[in-house]
Amino acid sequence: MAKRELPAWQALPLRGLLTCLGLFAGLLPRRLEVALGRGLGRLVCLARLFKRRVVEANVDRCLPGLGGPARRALIRRNYEHYGILLFEYMHFFSPLRGHWRRYVPTAARAEGVENLKKALARGKGAILFCAHLGSWEAGAAAVALSGVEATIVTTVLTPRWLHEKITAERASVGMKGAFHPGSMPAVLKTLRRGGTVAFMNDQYAPPPMGLPVVFFQTKVDTLSVIGPLARRTGAAVLPLHTFRAPDGTTVARIEPEFDLGEHPEDAAAATQRVAARVEEWVRENPEQWLWMHRRFKNVAVPQGVS
């Protein structure tokens, strides 16, 4: 079923608002943007808005030993992070040509690009797996601006004008899109010509694209294509770890080639290895993860968690 488009009387004011926000964000010094984002996040947290119950349920499931004060501090910092993200996303909507490309270097930097280029030199392409940590959008853009064109596997947004705007801004820094369902032909084409494909591996993914593996002590459906895809194409697999540094800048760190085990064609085993690495990232910077995502759909609520 096609996604419903917004009627014009809703779309036009929304486009106008986003354009104004894009212009506003472009006027802010980076340090002020980060401070305002954190302040806005704290206000939203105090008001218990913006999927607060989902955040709390996910934190309680994944970090059950976290005491009351530590739990509250983590959730507050998580909402401060969302506030900064909101300001960063405003820059997508600037009407000034080339703004997103100019903005990205002020908000993110890439590290470990040599690891990816070494893998790409074999001519079989590369698969990056990453997670919703730090400013993942700006981090991916920083990698692309370092000279590595990448195709990200993502969804078609609605309404259409929003999808076209985001896609155009991504393209301005060298990022292409493979949109699912139906993304696999574009993914295979990219890898066969020796290119780079990036998957987000921390979201709920039901069959046939996902398999249940353990993530934070819970067996939950997780994207499972990386192992079989690497086996089929010969592509290297590398982790892309994004995280926000203390100054608010996102670091996009491409780690050395990832070991999927002796049998990468075993989708469950390979996916479990990837999920374990993603969990390590989340544990390193739990305040920066997308706790508001319903990661544990169709999984029983643990006893004692409301």
DSSP string, 15-63: HHHHHHHHHHHHHS-HHHHHHHHHHHHHHHHHTT-SSHHHHHHHHHHH-
Residues 235 and 242 sit within 8 Å (Cβ to Cβ): no
Give a yes or no: residue 128 inside a domain.
Answer: yes
* Four-residue CA torsion sign, 28, 29, 33, 35: negative
Query: Which residue range forms the structural domain that includes residue 168?
Result: 11-288
pLDDT over 70 at 9, yes or no: no
pLDDT over 60 at 87, yes or no: yes
d(CA 114, CA 147): 11
Give a yes or no: residue 254 inside a domain.
Answer: yes
Burial tier of 98 (Cβ tally within 10 Å: 0-12, 13-18, 19+): exposed
d(CA 131, CA 116): 17
Q: What does the pLDDT look like over 24-57, one tens digit per residue?
A: 999 999 999 999 999 999 999 999 988 999 999 9
Give a yes or no: residue 302 inside a domain.
Answer: no
Q: Is 142 helix (H, G, I), strand (E, B) or coil?
A: helix
> Residue with structure tokens 């920066």?
288
Model confidence, pTM: 0.92
Q: What does the pLDDT look like over 120-179, one tens digit per residue?
A: 999 999 999 999 999 999 999 999 999 998 999 999 988 888 999 999 999 999 999 999
Give a yes or no: residue 148 inside a domain.
Answer: yes
Percent of the chain beyond pLDDT 90?
85
Residues 59 and 75 sit within 8 Å (Cβ to Cβ): yes
Give a yes or no: residue 306 inside a domain.
Answer: no
- How many independent structural domains does the chain possess? 1
The pLDDT of residue 174: 94
Give a yes or no: residue 69 inside a domain.
Answer: yes
pLDDT over 60 at 302, yes or no: no
Q: Which contiguous run of DSSP H or E holds residue 177? A: strand 175-180
Q: What does the pLDDT look like over 234-275, one tens digit per residue?
A: 999 999 999 999 999 999 999 999 999 888 789 999 999 999
Which pair of tokens denotes residue 275? 């999920």
Give a yes or no: residue 295 inside a domain.
Answer: no
pLDDT, averaged across the chain: 93
Residue 202 phi/psi, 5° resolution? -120, 10
